[in-house]
Amino acid sequence: MEVKQFINGQLVNAINNGSTQLINPATEEVISNISFGDKADCNAAIDAAKEAFKTWGKTTPYFRAEILKKAAQYIRDNVVAFATDMVNESGKPLAEAKGEFMVAANLFEWYAEEGKRAYGKTIPTNRIDKRSFTQWQPMGVIGIITAWNFPAYNPARAWAAALAAGCSVVAKPSEFTPMAGLHLAKALTEAGLPAGVLNVLTGDAALIGDAMLQHPQLKKISFTGSTRVGKILMDGASKTHTRLSLELGGNAPVIIYSDVDVQAIAKTAALARFRNNGQVCIAPQRFYVHEKIYQEFATAVSLQVAQLKVGNGFDEGVQLGPLINAKQKESVNELLINAAKENATILTGGKMPDHLSKGYFIQPAVVADVEQSSVLANNEIFGPVLPLFSFNNMDEVIAKANDTPYGLSAYIFTNLLKTAFNTAEQLEFGMVGINEWTPHGAELPFGGWKQSGQGHESGSEGLYEYLELKLVSMGGI
Ligand code: ADP
């Protein structure tokens, strides 16, 4: 089987006939070959999207909404088949894969309606004979590059907003998880999306990214991935003036004050930290626990984490699959080795699970006695490691929490209202969860401060990333 690209309504091989292998991270076996295109495929897709935009950009949001809602239904109707492929390519547990496609469906439905609300305004002017108003127009062709950690959610979030806004799209899902994106494209096509409005490329990321930057008809790149690649795109965009929205890495602090129910939080923390194996940009990462409850929390969370079930995402009850690839596993192993050299203590996990012999697995780890200078505090871990730090007072913990170039999400646990607000307002992060682990949703703006990004996805803010504001002013009235 060959996974093909989707350009101008057709499934096609790479123009250079290149292909590469798609690997199942749980078994290390080849799932299939994927077309491996480059600049020529990207240019063909942009040309198709530009042509399609001529009509798509002039449809009403009501027309576009009907297609997006039908696509949402198609995803729901096919969730088992779609999720099965996602388990094969990403390794995540089947229930999580199904849940992710359901969230993707919700995003299409939510933006179907939100697209109808891109209101402009009339502005009172300084001249009696003049009338001025603003209106929002679709930008045109958008390049959307997304990471493998959420193979359906990442593309759906950006595609839904761009399509609802009336833009056409050239998408490049991750080379590790192309099937989920192609399934979303199938849903949109079955729902009646005209050929060329959405194109999906698989291939050489650097060449495709560069081709997007160089093409004058591509108006913006929406990118979800590492800060490293975000910077490459910013460099390129500084020359071509391509607009960017960037959803980059994170290094989320979790501040747990001493007044909380320690056992209850240890339980939910174990699940939240290890969701998708920690391969989540808003994953709670640096656990700052008040010194009064540090020991109790360390013991309780280690017990919880030791019970998490690791294995093939198809196996009953599995909560953690493998990491996405050998490189990611190596990077997490290296962090653990270096943390041990810094005299941190691994309380549980950190090795290949005993019952598994193949696949990119790591038994989820809890690491205590971690210093603020540690590799575990200063790198985005993107893996199954929960480092514990202790603190004594609010000023100290806020300074430590903000001591990172990242600024995506942060979490606070306390029952004291004043403590919660004072902490939330001083944190330099775009999303703050107070007594909750999920400060996100289709209706909520998702975006980072500092080196975690620019702009927003989801929420009404996400729609405006794909619209240009135009002022129309009329004189002589
Ligand atoms: P992660 O480490 O989370 O996979 P990456 O930033 O490496 O994040 O990848 C996110 C997306 O960016 C993927 O689709 C990947 O193929 C793509 N990508 C990688 N390198 C480049 C590049 N130089 N230009 C454009 N896109 C790239």
Predicted confidence at residue 2, as pLDDT, reads 84
> What is 5-248+452-474's CATH number?
3.40.605.10
Closest ligand 1 atom to Cα of 209: 25
Assigned token pair, 310: 């690791």
Rounded to an integer, the average pLDDT of 459-464 is: 98
Closest ligand 1 atom to Cα of 249: 3
Active site residue 247: yes
Q: Is the CB of 394 under 6 A from ligand 1?
A: no
Predicted confidence at residue 395, as pLDDT, reads 98
141 within 8 A of 468, measured Cβ to Cβ? no
284 within 8 A of 269, measured Cβ to Cβ? yes
Residue pLDDT, tens place only, 207-262: 999 999 999 999 999 999 999 999 999 999 999 999 999 999 999 999 999 999 99
Closest ligand 1 atom to Cα of 229: 6
Q: Is the CB of 225 under 6 A from ligand 1?
A: yes
Atom 2, ligand 1: residue with shortest CA distance: 226
Q: Which of 229, 251, 332 to mutate to test the pocket of ligand 1 (most atoms within 8 A of CB)?
A: 229
- Distance (Å) from CA 204 to ligand 1 centroid: 10
- Distance (Å) from CA 314 to ligand 1 centroid: 27
Bridge pairing between strands 168-172 and 141-145:
parallel
- Distance (Å) from CA 150 to ligand 1 centroid: 13
Q: Which residues, 6+ apart, have CB-to-CB distance to 393 below 8 Å?
A: none
Active site residue 42: no
Q: Which of 281, 380, 457, 465 is catalytic?
A: 281
Cα(364)–Cα(348) distance, rounded to whole angstroms?
7
Q: Is the CB of 390 under 6 A from ligand 1?
A: no
Residue pLDDT, tens place only, 290-328: 999 999 999 999 999 999 999 999 999 999 999 999 999
- Distance (Å) from CA 206 to ligand 1 centroid: 8
Residue pLDDT, tens place only, 427-460: 999 999 999 999 999 999 999 999 999 999 999 9
Q: Is the CB of 146 under 6 A from ligand 1?
A: yes
Question: What are 288's strand-pairing partners?
Answer: 255, 389
Residue pLDDT, tens place only, 77-112: 999 999 999 999 999 999 999 999 999 999 999 999
Predicted confidence at residue 80, as pLDDT, reads 98
Q: Is the CB of 232 under 6 A from ligand 1?
A: yes
Residue pLDDT, tens place only, 22-66: 999 999 999 999 999 999 999 999 999 999 999 999 999 999 999
- Distance (Å) from CA 345 to ligand 1 centroid: 33
Domain boundaries, the chain: 5-248+452-474, 252-442
Closest ligand 1 atom to Cα of 281: 3
Q: How far from 256 is each of 132, 264, 398, 411, 430, CA to CA, in Å? A: 51, 12, 12, 8, 19
Rg, Å, the chain Cα set = 23
Cα(141)–Cα(163) distance, rounded to whole angstroms?
10
> 1 pLDDT exceeds 80?
no
What distance lies between CA 267 and its chain's CA centroid?
Answer: 25
Q: Quick one: 252-442 is in which CATH superfamily?
A: Aldehyde Dehydrogenase; Chain A, domain 2 (3.40.309.10)
Q: How far from 204 is each of 39, 176, 418, CA to CA, in Å? A: 8, 12, 51
Residue pLDDT, tens place only, 375-424: 999 999 999 999 999 999 999 999 999 999 999 999 999 999 999 999 99
Predicted confidence at residue 279, as pLDDT, reads 98
- Amino acid identity, residue 129? D
Q: Is the CB of 172 under 6 A from ligand 1?
A: yes
- Distance (Å) from CA 54 to ligand 1 centroid: 30
- Distance (Å) from CA 120 to ligand 1 centroid: 35
Assigned token pair, 34: 């994927």
> 187 pLDDT exceeds 90?
yes
Rounded to an integer, the average pLDDT of 117-142 is: 98
Atom 25, ligand 1: residue with shortest CA distance: 209
Q: Is the CB of 176 under 6 A from ligand 1?
A: no
Predicted confidence at residue 298, as pLDDT, reads 98
Helix (H) or strand (E) holding 298: helix 294-306
Q: Is the CB of 226 under 6 A from ligand 1?
A: yes
Q: Is the CB of 20 under 6 A from ligand 1?
A: no
Residue pLDDT, tens place only, 377-387: 999 999 999 99
Q: Which residues, 6+ apart, have CB-to-CB distance to 454 below 8 Å?
A: 244, 245, 246, 447, 448
Q: Is the CB of 230 under 6 A from ligand 1?
A: no
